[in-house]
Copies of this chain bind each other. A is one copy, B any other.
């Protein structure tokens, strides 16, 4: 690794002098349009639309990009709310990801105490209103710079729906081939700190296992019945023992979605949802095959039958250091968040609602974390699939007050007010500057591609979706 990194660093230093001037234009362009993007983020935040149902959100995004001069491909990969907005032509092609879906049960006003907008409603607890808007801001800024400077190449904004839960939107986009001609993908994510250090995520697969048995009166003829719930519990039992015999970073979790209707009938149907996560795609396949065995075994041993439906499956994320170091440099140039007195007061109040023994300092919102190879996080994301087909890098910014966890009502609150909007613009600027540098020095692409091939174990890699040939679950959030 050393020689490679040395070469890289040398390269980056030589890029440095070249890139400094143009960045100023981009930064001032975005500063001037901050109120407009803040307002767009606030609008999407209020809509808080579920995965694959982001109809108003995608319409607003497409309208803004059209107005800015992009060409739109709608409903790509047979997903109504997915789209590509393009500007320019030819190589290199740089893609920016824009997510848009909200989370159930997290509806919340932009205040520092629990107060739902709509009881039980959706809320942007993962900040995808910021993610989408910030990426669009970056794309528009890059387009403006390309236009003004006659830059060759293509900038694309990917409107990617349904990242959360069983959505897996990008999986279906990757499978449809819409990233095949892309040279680099940039993205970001809301967080409680500022960092462009790369980290891998866990490969991930979710399926429903449906057991069928024989109904019988549970008192009069239980010997005639075969309980489908027995099948589910037997599967769970064997899986719980399997926990001892998998690599320790593996995660296996399940819930029983259907466990019988009424206790006086032996249940003839039961359903369990399983998620498996593990660091590598190969490891995932092995454990998955053992999971299949537990399901078949449970059916055999309880006199029931079983089938399963894969709901979603995600690749682990491959870090790309070539791109990540570029992004880190630009993030450091842009800098962190400075709170106003009012924001500071909000920040202190909302932090007080979180009980943790391990809170980061509030000042950390202002600073950028040093670059490090962070290793593994226990999360999973459909960006993983993208990262196996295109060199990909992302960053996180402190849209959430330090110490606020993802998927919390506190995160929703931050995502709907100025603290979140400030973090969003830092991301927009960093992505725009990074794209600018890549357009200016396409050797970065070669280095990044070489690194990707190495990570994939050679040039023979062929992407196969973990979701198999199932269609995108467009109705997974419908009720």
- CA separation between A261 and B247, bound complex, in Å? 24
Residues of B within 8 A of A245 (CB): 222-227, 230, 266, 303
Q: A219-B379, A297-B302 are in contact. List 13 more A-B contacts (CB 8 A).
A: A165-B264, A226-B245, A227-B245, A229-B256, A230-B241, A230-B245, A245-B266, A253-B263, A254-B260, A255-B261, A262-B273, A264-B275, A297-B300
Is residue A243 within 8 Å, beta carbon to beta carbon, of the partner chain? Answer: yes
**A302 close to B238 (CB less than 8 A):** yes
Q: Which single member of B220, B244, B259 contacts A259 (CB below 8 Å)?
A: B259
B255 touches A262 (CB 8 A): yes
User: Do B302 and A262 touch (CB < 8 A)?
Assistant: no
| A202-252, CB < 8 A from B | 202, 206, 217-227, 229-230, 233-238, 240-249, 251-252
| Complex-state Cα separation, A221 to B245, whole angstroms | 8
Nearest-CB residue, chain B, relative to A204: B219
State whether A219 touches B296 (Cβ < 8 A): no
Chain A contact residues, CB within 8 Å of chain B: 165, 202, 206, 217-227, 229-230, 233-238, 240-249, 251-264, 266-267, 270, 272-275, 277, 290, 293-294, 296-303, 377-380, 407
A206, A235, A253, A272 — most chain B CB neighbours (10 Å) = A253
Cβ-neighbour of A300 out of B264, B274, B300 (below 8 A): B300
Given the complex of chains A and B, what is the CA–CA distance between A260 and B275 in angstroms? 13
Evaluate whether A219 and B378 lie within 8 angstroms (CB atoms) in the complex, with A238-B234, A249-B248, A297-B301 already known.
yes
Residues of B within 8 A of A252 (CB): 244
With a 10 A CB-CB cut-off, give which of A165, A230, A277 has the most chain B CB atoms. Answer: A230
CB proximity of A385 to chain B, nearest CB, Å: 17
Contacts of A249 in B (CB 8 A): 248
Sampled A-B contacts (14; CB under 8 Å): A219-B253, A219-B380, A230-B238, A230-B244, A234-B237, A234-B238, A238-B301, A240-B241, A245-B303, A255-B260, A255-B262, A255-B267, A297-B301, A300-B300
- How many copies the complex holds: the figure is 4
Complex contacts, A233 vs chain B, CB 8 Å = 233, 236-237, 241
Alpha-carbon distance A236/B256, docked complex (angstroms):
14
A15 to chain B, nearest CB (A): 31
Which B residues are CB-close (under 8 A) to A277?
219
Q: A226-B245, A379-B219 are in contact. Are A301 and B303 (CB under 8 A)?
A: no
Once the chains are docked, how many angstroms separate the CA of A143 from the CA of B224?
Answer: 46
A379 and B248 contacting across the interface, CB-CB below 8 Å = no
In the A-B complex, list the 8 residue pairs whose CB atoms are closest, starting with the nearest. Answer: A256-B259, A255-B260, A297-B301, A218-B253, A238-B301, A297-B300, A297-B297, A243-B243
CB distance A243 to B246 under 8 Å? no
